Amino acid sequence: YPVKDLRGRRILVTSGPTREPLDPVRFLSNRSSGKMGHAIARLARWRGADVVLVTGPTALEPPFGVETVRVETGEQMRQACLDRAGEADAVVMAAAVADFRPRSPAPTKIKKDDLVAHSAPLLTVALEPTPDILQELARRRRPGQILVGFAAETGDLEALARRKLAAKGVDLIVANDVTRPGAGFESDTNAALLLGADGTRVDVPLVTKEALAERILEWVAARLGR
């Protein structure tokens, strides 16, 4: 790989979904395959960085030369990120962390018979919000550390991304319209709007997730070089 602009830099990347248990055999999750986050981790390594990848459950191989930490829940991802973020020059949060989790996971398998016994027509599950990892990393960030967040949107991409850029306190938001064919979850390609807190705006058309990863890492490398 010709470009080594991240040599000597330490990059923390998150990838994949989280799983939030309902009972010992069931969970709430989402469609994230890990392709986006794994591409960022792989390309960052190719560009010379020391990479730690914190990943939820995916079917992907861990990228070669990347220290990979496997987690399941958002809380485990939070802990792994907080443990590692202190040493990172940049953090890229591509993971699709569940925003809600069952408030009290059942200790034993939920049975249909229990509903019948209580003559209850519906199973109701109370959900509570999960901690926002990116916001917590932003609050604890050390001077000079670059924080990149993603925004998975289904509406007005630029308006929603601008709101997320401000709310999360990050340096860069990579906003993808996850309803667009060929973009977002599961596909090998993606399109994104990169919005920097410094006013930069880069529109990346539909390209491979590797190519989008390159654009994100170019942005990061340019900032770290200053």
Q: Which residues are tagged catalytic?
A: 30
Quote the tokens at residue 101.
């989790």
Nearer to ligand PMT, 71 or 95 (CB): 95
Closest CA to 9 of 63, 48, 54: 48
Nearer to ligand PMT, 130 or 145 (CB): 130
Alpha-carbon torsion 38, 184, 189, 214, what sign?
negative
| Residue 40 assigned to a binding site | no
Distance CA 45, CA 41 (A): 6
| Residue 164 assigned to a binding site | yes
Closest CA to 52 of 14, 5, 79: 14
| Residue 173 assigned to a binding site | no
Nearer to ligand PMT, 34 or 63 (CB): 34
Quote the tokens at residue 20.
């939030």
| Residue 99 assigned to a binding site | yes
Quote the tokens at residue 118.
């209580």
**Interface with ligand PMT by CB under 6 A: which residues?**
32-36, 74, 93-97, 99, 130, 132-134, 149-152, 176, 178, 184-186
Alpha-carbon torsion 64, 27, 167, 82, what sign?
negative
Q: Which residues make up each annotated binding site for CTP?
A: 99, 109, 131-134, 150, 164, 168
